[in-house]
């Protein structure tokens, strides 16, 4: 199966999930993240602002702020394949971009990728070995190699985890994967 067909199939599976299942999965995933040593040891965390039926990690971001951690989310420079980490101080300081996705409002502080300790990455599909399929724009694939000190965790509903997905040489592999079932390092349970 080619990448476009695989992406479409995985997007369809996620879109077909009942909203109650998305909420329940998100709650369990948040707990796995907060219970992990990866979270506990991290001082500077990059999450994301969920869209549609992506796993919502808003509660991780809220807890990290309450714990005194530096928290940032992606901010895409539209018209380019460039993404940057932007610091947030709460979850109410957003506007909707042209795609209806929550995005930080200016002015904002850009956090250098090299300073991040933990990055929570959404995706359309993953494998247990860390292969990731995103939306196809390559934002994370260009950003993640700069985050040399960060643990990189794919965040996914278990129905998005496939035995194999098509990848290219520039696709960045996740170090960890978290679903509503558990948190994995490659094929090992943490």
Task: Check whether the bond before 140 is cis (ω within 30° of 0).
Answer: no
Alpha-carbon separation of residue 73 from 32, 88, 90, 162 (angstroms): 20, 7, 11, 26
Domains of the chain in start order, with CATH, are 3-71+113-181 (3.40.50.10420)
- Considering the chain, what percentage of its residues have pLDDT values greater than 70? 97
Which stretches of the chain are DSSP H helices? 3-15, 19-35, 37-41, 58-66, 139-143
* Average pLDDT over all residues of the chain: 91
Q: Which of 86, 49, 94, 88 is nearest to 66 (CA)?
A: 88
Q: How far apart are CA 46 and CA 70, in angstroms?
A: 8
Distance CA 119, CA 153 (A): 6
Q: Is the dihedral of CA 43, 23, 16, 100 positive or negative?
A: negative
Average pLDDT on 153-157 reads 97
- In the numeric block, which tokens belong to residue 58? 């808003």
Residue 138 has what pLDDT?
85
Strands 44-46 and 70-77: parallel
Q: In this predicted model, what pLDDT tens digit does every residue of 106-120 receive, in sequence order?
A: 888 999 999 999 999
| pLDDT value of position 1 | 72
* pTM of the predicted protein model: 0.94
User: What does the DSSP 8-state code read for residue 96?
Assistant: E
32: confidence class by pLDDT, cuts 50, 70, 90: very high
User: What pLDDT score was predicted for residue 190?
Assistant: 44
Average pLDDT over residues 153-163: 94
Query: Whose CA is closest to 84, among 94, 92, 73, 97?
Result: 73
Measured at the alpha carbon of residue 110, what is the angle toward residues 107 and 115, in degrees to the nearest 5?
Answer: 155
Q: Poorest-confidence range of 38-47, 54-63, 109-118, 126-135?
A: 126-135
């Amino acid at each position: 199966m080619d990448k476009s067909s695989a992406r479409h199939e995985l997007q369809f599976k996620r879109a077909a999930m009942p909203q109650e299942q998305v909420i329940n999965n998100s709650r369990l995933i948040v707990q796995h993240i907060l219970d992990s040593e990866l979270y506990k040891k991290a001082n500077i965390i990059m999450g994301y602002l969920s869209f549609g039926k992506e796993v919502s990690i808003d509660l991780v971001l809220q807890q990290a702020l309450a714990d005194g951690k530096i928290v940032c989310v992606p901010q895409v420079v539209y018209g380019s394949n460039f993404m940057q980490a932007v610091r947030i101080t709460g979850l109410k300081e957003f506007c909707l971009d042209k795609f209806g996705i929550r995005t930080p409002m200016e002015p904002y502080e850009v956090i250098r990728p090299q300073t991040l300790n933990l990055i929570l990455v959404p995706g359309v599909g993953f494998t247990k070995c860390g292969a990731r399929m995103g939306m196809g724009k390559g934002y994370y694939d260009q950003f993640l190699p700069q985050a040399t000190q960060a643990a990189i965790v794919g965040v996914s509903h278990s129905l998005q985890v496939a035995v194999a997905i098509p990848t290219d040489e520039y696709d960045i592999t996740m170090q960890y994967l978290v679903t509503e079932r558990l948190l994995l390092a490659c094929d090992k349970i943490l």
